[in-house]
Amino acid sequence: MAIYTKEEARKILEKALSFSKADTCEINLSGYNSGNIRYARNTVSTSGYSSNQSLAVQSSFGKKSGTATIDEFDDASLEKVVRRAEELAQLSPENPEFMEPLGPQMYDEAITYSESTANVTPEYRAEVASSSIVPAAAKDVTAAGFLNDSAGFNAMINSKGLFAYNQSTDVDFTVTMRTNDGTGSGWVKRDFNDVDKFDADEAAKTAIDKAVLSREAKAIEPGKYTVILEPAASADLLRNMFRSLNARSADEGRSFMSAPDGKNKIGEKIVDERVNIYSDPLNPEVPTATWNGEGQAIKKTSWIENGVVKNLAYDRFWAKEKGVEPVPFPSNAIMTGGDASLEELIKSTKKGILVTRLWYIRSVDPQTLLYTGLTRDGTFYIENGEIKYPVKNFRFNESPIIMLNNLETLGQQVRINGNLIPYMKVRDFTFTSLSDAV
Amino acid sequence: MSNEFFFTRLQYESGDWDVDQRMPSNLLNSLVEYTTLKVDTQEKIITLASDDIFKSPFCYISGHKLVEFTKKEQENFEKYVRNGGFVFADDCNHDIDGLFAKSFERQMEEIFGPSELKKIPNDHEIYTIFFDFEDGPPTTSQELNGWGDDLVHDYLKAIVINGRIGVLYSNKDYGCEWDYDFRNKRWYKIDNTRFGVNIVMYALTS
């Protein structure tokens, strides 16, 4: 019994809070049920289920805080964990950046929960594995994949009268397909809140097709190429840019968003004017909770508008230091796309490379957001609007900023890792060397 | 005739002269950024067989393929260099065993005689004339990209006429190294086109 309703959670939290003798107290309660299936070598290797819940108390005396957690919720246990948090708080040094908990807040009703995801059965998971394994075996391909679904809740109460509750569901799927001659590899990743949106057959087919198509890749010379980046490829680079949307690291001169003289890049045009990035917890494709761990309400927020930095996130402490309103960190990233499908992007390409995904990404230079990494699981040469042949994997050296300055076309959006990222055609993507890895 | 510096790309008949199309703008942008030189921002493409080359303060020649000048191209090349012109030749294959390198070197031998194309010392004036490059020619990311001979060529070669470089020859593939939209340069930590400024300043002032 890991999932509590709003009222059940409130009852436990209010009970726990009633034991508090600290100046301020904040208590979080969370729980989840999660099932998974793992397969490799065209056979299921593990299937599992876990169910867990936890309550965390943070008690503060002045600027001294202590935290304790417990997973038993009878009265004696609740009192025990509150006392332990208080003892730890008394022993702690003062935190000069301590912020008192917020009072009651207004939150939008989140749309993160889907009954069908919560009701996923072991039989369904086995079906998903079968949807990969059967067609793979028929094509002389070997599948290795993982499906994980979970349903959970988070709730929060504090001594200032704030109460927040959210229920959410998630399903994550990834599969790698390798041709049995060892020369081809394909891959897909899918993630949703609502499992009904997941098409296991389509996902498996995409990965199998990529694997078969990528057999016996040819080496072509590294250099600057026009690339079509699938969202899974660009998301990993863009994620590193999203991390820079933090006012404090910018103001302190530690990030790409830093500007000379202790300033930041708010108001500066940094990428192509067609680039718009915002976050929105109520987007039906990538919904998130409408409140964060600080108890702040999360609203739709624009981060990059027409290529210009619109906002940076200010946590409550930094906002106070700078005399501005706090801006909560984004809970998702939505990049506006265009109408073009992947097929149309390929058709409109005279010469270029289609990139399925990037991996092993490492930072080369944090201040210019330069990254290096490798292509993987389906890299294809395009000529005169057609995929001509698979090419050997490349090492790349590229910055998401430069990438978004070299934007040629934005395609349709796809959900990837809880974000909405469009297909992108980008000029002059820098491939620096070849990799022998399949 | 205007007194602006302009960048000439030599078009020759035998090979692919039309490589690294964004490189000239990028280099011209660096001249604007760092020097007070008056610059024509449009690259000029001039056929080597045309007498227009004699108006050029600086010529660039590159490619991957065969360099085999026609009679007229050969005559013009020799006359231009012997009369004090400057040609920067860059091997797009960055491969001393590649077709461009082998055929370009053979062509130089044919025009200027054997062993005239020689390595220049890494403390040559060209490495300090504007920016300082203590170790000689800066390495390019192209050289170890698994293509070509996969060597870092730690020298440049030149044909020297009356104590001055007339033909500067590189196997380092600077053309590809500098072949990107100059507007993106502001995002780079170190501007990798700086050595190009040295080459132009040497051509104009030595």
Q: Contact at 8 Å (CB) between A163 and A156?
A: yes
Q: pLDDT over 70 for what percent of chain A?
A: 100
- Pick from A433, A434, A435 the residue to mutate for testing the B interface (most B CBs within 10 Å): A433
Average pLDDT over residues B46-72: 97
Quickly list DSSP for A267-327.
T-B-S-TT--EEE-TT-SSS---SB-TT-PBP--EEEEETTEE---BB-HHHHHHHTS--B
pLDDT (tens digit, 9 = 90+) per residue, A74-124? 999 999 999 999 999 999 999 999 999 999 999 999 999 999 999 999 999
Q: Where does the pLDDT of residue A367 fall: very low under 50, low under 70, confident under 90, or very high at 90 and above?
A: confident
Which residues in chain A touch residue B181, judged by CB atoms under 8 angstroms apart?
405-406, 427-428
Is A71 within 8 Å of chain B by CB?
Answer: no
Q: How far separated are the first and last CA of chain A, in Å rounded?
A: 45
Residue type, A321: E
Query: How far is residue A172's CA from residue B76's CA, in Å, rounded to a whole number?
Result: 67
Over residues A118-133, mean pLDDT:
98
**Predicted confidence band at B22 (pLDDT cuts at 50, 70, 90)?**
very high
The first and second tokens of residue A109, run together, are 């009703």
Tokens encoding A185 = 């590899």
Is A427's CB within 8 Å of B184's CB?
A: no
- pLDDT for the residue numbered A366: 84
| HSE value, Cβ hemisphere, 13 Å, CA-based, for B202 | 26
Check A223 against B141: CB less than 8 A apart: no
What is the predicted pLDDT for the residue at A48? Answer: 96
**In 3D, which of B187, B102, B90 has the Cα closest to residue B142?**
B90
Distance CA A212, CA A135 (A): 12
Q: Using the beta-carbon criterion (under 8 Å), do A405 and B187 form an inter-chain contact?
A: yes
d(CA B19, CA A291): 54
Over residues A22-35, the pLDDT tens digits come to 999 999 999 999 99
Which one of B16, B20, B141 makes the best mutation probe of the A interface by having the most chain A beta carbons within 10 Å? B141
B145–A405 CB contact, under 8 Å:
no
- Which tokens is A75 given? 């009265």
Residue of A nearest to B189 (CA): A368
| Contact between chains at B145 and A433 (C-beta distance less than 8 A) | yes
Angstrom CA distances, A377 to A363, A394, A428, stand at: 22, 11, 21
Look at residue B188 and give its three-state secondary structure: coil
Tally A–B CB contacts below 8 A.
43
Q: Cβ–Cβ of B181/A428 closer than 8 Å?
A: yes
Mean pLDDT for the stretch of residues B180-206:
95
Choose the closest CB to B189 out of A221, A368, A401: A368
Return all residues near A426 (Cβ < 8 A) that are at least 6 apart. Answer: A226, A227, A229, A403, A406, A407, A408
Are B189 and A427 within 8 A, CB to CB? Answer: no
Are A427 and B181 within 8 A, CB to CB? Answer: yes
Min Cα–Cα distance to chain B from A290, Å: 35
Tell me the chain B residues in contact with residue A222 when contact means C-beta distances shorter than 8 Å.
Answer: 145-147
Q: Are B136 and B154 in contact (CB under 8 A)?
A: yes
Do the chains contact at A224 and B189, CB–CB below 8 Å? no
Across the interface, whether the CB atoms of B147 and A405 are under 8 A apart is answered no
Name the pTM for this structure.
0.93
pLDDT on residue B1: 55
Q: What band does A1 get if pLDDT is binned at 50, 70 and 90?
A: low
CB-CB neighbors (< 8 A) of A428 in chain B: 22, 180-181, 184
Contact A405 B179 (CB under 8 A): no
Q: Considering only alpha carbons, which residue of chain A is nearest residue B185? A: A402
Query: Which residues of chain A neighbour B179 with C-beta distances below 8 Å?
Result: 224
What pairs with residue A192 in β-bridges?
A: A171
CB contact under 8 A, A221 and B181: no
Of A141-145, A165-169, A242-246, give the lowest mean pLDDT range.
A242-246
A380 to chain B, minimum CA–CA distance in Å?
A: 19
Smallest Cα distance from B92 to chain A, Å:
11
Cα nearest neighbour of B141 on chain A: A432
In Å, how far is A379's CA from the nearest CA of chain B? 18
Nearest CB neighbour to A434, from listed B142, B146, B189: B146
pLDDT in tens, A150-201: 999 999 999 999 999 999 999 999 999 999 999 999 999 999 999 999 999 9
The Cα–Cα gap between B140 and B22 comes to: 17
Token reading at A412: 């349709």
| A432 closest CB neighbour out of B145, B181, B183 | B145
Q: What value does the mean pLDDT take over residues A304-328?
A: 98
Confidence of residue B3 (pLDDT cuts 50, 70, 90): confident
Confidence of residue A330 (pLDDT cuts 50, 70, 90): very high
**How far apart are alpha carbons A424 and A414 in whole angstroms?**
11
Q: Over the stretch B125-158, which tens digit does the pLDDT of each residue have?
A: 999 999 999 999 999 999 999 999 999 999 999 9
Q: Which residues of A touch B146 (CB under 8 A)?
A: 219, 222, 433-434
**Chain B CB within 8 Å of residue A223 CB:** yes
The pLDDT assigned to A141 comes to: 98
Nearest Cα of chain A lies from the Cα of B148 at a distance, in angstroms, of 9
Q: Chain B residues with CB-CB distance to A under 8 A?
A: 22, 141-142, 144-147, 176, 179-181, 183-184, 187-189
In a mutational test of the B interface, the residue from A224, A403, A436 whose CB has the highest number of chain B CBs within 10 Å is A224
Which regions of B82-122 does DSSP assign to beta strands (E)? 87-91, 117-120
Q: Say if strands A163-179 and A24-40 run parallel, antiparallel, or are unpaired.
A: unpaired
Cα gap A92→B176, rounded to integer Å: 58
> What SS3 state is found at A86?
helix
